[in-house]
Amino acid sequence: MTKKIMLSAVQPSNRLTIGNYVGAVMNWTKMQKDYDCIFFAVDMHVITNSRGSEDLKRQTYETIATYLACGLDPEAATLFVQSHVKEHAELSWILTCHATMGEVSRMTQFKDKSSKHGEMIPMGLFAYPVLMAADILLYQTNLVPVGADQKQHVELTRDLAMRMNNHYTPGWNKEGATTKPLFALPDPWIPKEGGKILSLQDPTKKMSKSDADPKATLFLNDTDKEIEKKVKSAVTDSGSEIKASDEKPGILNLLTLQSVLTGRTIAEVEAAYVGKQYGHLKVDTAGICVDTIRPVREKTAQLMGDLTYLDQVLKRGAERARERAARTLKAVSAKIGFIPTT
Ligand code: TRP
């Protein structure tokens, strides 16, 4: 049986957080055997809103090193950096010529981000979701695990795929069709509510790697001391009872962290705190976070000390990715009427 193709990517624009770990990478490590997995760092997406090549380079290495430190296996999954596979830029242009200003203008992320730029909106910011569509469609992807904020982009990807299939491979979706579509139609895969990690300083919003307050976020390379300090100063709720309740989002957040990191249910974790105080919960949660983050931090640091090894992993990953991407691009180019390169 052929495995379903699962693809996801992350912007190497900041350090990864424990929220990224719980919501994404931890699950991917469990899925890499059952799915044909493709994971990459989207450095070309980062330049839509930042400049500074040395930073980007280091962050890109660090993202890949962190993926590996979390347990992604470069043999089982295809692991690479977007800019190493030129097919992404090429397909992106072709898709740009099939997308409309109207549909791309409707992307809420574009509306949010462009409003900060006044009259000088970078074109890349507008084209961002089309590049993302190319990322996905190049690999005949079936499933795209993403946060809820990216769902609209995956839907646009699906619309573009459908449009091009209808135009270039008509009949592809008829009963008993023998025409192979240009693109598989991807489905977004949103992690179910419940395991979401919230800001330690404002537990009404998501923990974010770009939060202005460093105390709000646990990074996967924080020191033991930093982790302890942040968890112990986490904003909790009034009262003193440790209860998993929506009225106590701060307490619920700490219970959730313990639950997802130890594999126990929230109710099990909660039950251990009957008659105890917030301080107990914080100390234990800090300890569990330290135990989770420490090995990741140490392994990441070790890998960052061996860029030759990382380069080797990336080279192999890009070769594997390119082979697959080139197949799709070749089929698309042929339909469009580009003369094949010999
Ligand atoms: N836009 C995604 C984000 O900001 C990152 C991304 C780029 C992505 N290309 C992708 C995610 C392809 C999934 C699949 O989180």
Q: Give tens-digit pLDDT for 308-340.
A: 999 999 999 999 999 999 999 999 999 999 999
Does the Cβ of 72 fall within 6 Å of ligand 1?
A: no
Specify the ligand 1 atom closest to the Cα of 7.
14
What's the number of domains the chain is made of?
2
pLDDT (tens digit, 9 = 90+) per residue, 136-178?
A: 999 999 999 988 889 999 999 999 999 999 999 999 999 888 8
Closest Cα to atom 6 of ligand 1: 9
How far, in Å, is the centroid of ligand 1 from the Cα of 136?
A: 9
Query: Are residue 314 and residue 270 in the same domain, yes or no?
Result: no
pLDDT tens-digit readout, 207-266 = 988 888 999 999 999 999 999 999 999 999 888 899 999 899 999 999 999 999 999 999
Residue 209, in any domain of the structure: no
Query: Is 201 a member of any domain?
Result: no
Note whether 100 and 226 are same-domain residues. Answer: no
> Does 203 map to a domain?
no
Same domain? For 30 and 62 the reply is yes
Atom 13 in ligand 1: residue holding the nearest Cα: 8
Query: Which residue has its alpha carbon closest to ligand 1 atom 11?
Result: 9
Alpha-carbon 102 to chain mean position: 26
Is the same domain home to 142 and 187? yes
C-beta separation of 237 from 249 below 8 A? yes
Cβ neighbors of 267 (< 8 A, separation 6 or more) are 244
Mean of pLDDT over the chain = 94
Asked whether residue 199 is domain-assigned, the answer is no
From atom 9 of ligand 1, which residue's Cα is the shortest distance away?
132
CATH number at residue 11: 3.40.50.620
- Residue 202 located in a structural domain: no
Residues 158 and 184 in one domain: yes
- Looking at the domain assignment, is residue 11 inside a domain? yes
Strand order in the sheet with 36-41: 78-81, 36-41, 5-10, 143-145, 187-189
Out of 8, 81, 125, 150, mutate this one to test ligand 1's pocket (max ligand atoms within 8 Å of CB): namely: 150
* pLDDT over 70 at 193, yes or no: no
Which range of residues forms the domain containing residue 46? 5-193+306-336
**Are 43 and 126 in the same domain?**
yes
Q: 101 and 183: one domain?
A: yes
Residue 125 in domain? yes
Do 130 and 268 fall into the same domain? no
In a shared domain, residues 220 and 186: no
Is residue 198, in this structure, part of any structural domain at all? no
- Residue-wise burial string across 42-62, b where 16 or more C-beta atoms lie within 10 A, e elsewhere: bbbbbbbeeeeeeebeebbbb
129 plus 49 within the same structural domain: yes
CA dist 261 and 137 (Å) reads: 33
Question: Is residue 154 within 6 Å of ligand 1 at its C-beta?
Answer: no
Find the 34 Cα to ligand 1 centroid distance in Å.
22
Q: Say if residue 312 is in the same domain as residue 297.
A: no
Give the residue, by CA position, lying nearest to ligand 1 atom 8: 9
Task: Please choose from 43, 135, 160 the residue to mutate so as to test ligand 1's pocket, defined by most ligand atoms within 8 A of CB.
Answer: 135
Find out whether the beta carbon of 11 lies less than 6 Å from any atom of ligand 1: yes
Ligand 1 centroid distance, CA of 151 (Å): 10
Query: Is residue 59 located within the same domain as residue 126?
Result: yes
What residues are annotated to the active site?
Answer: 113, 206, 209
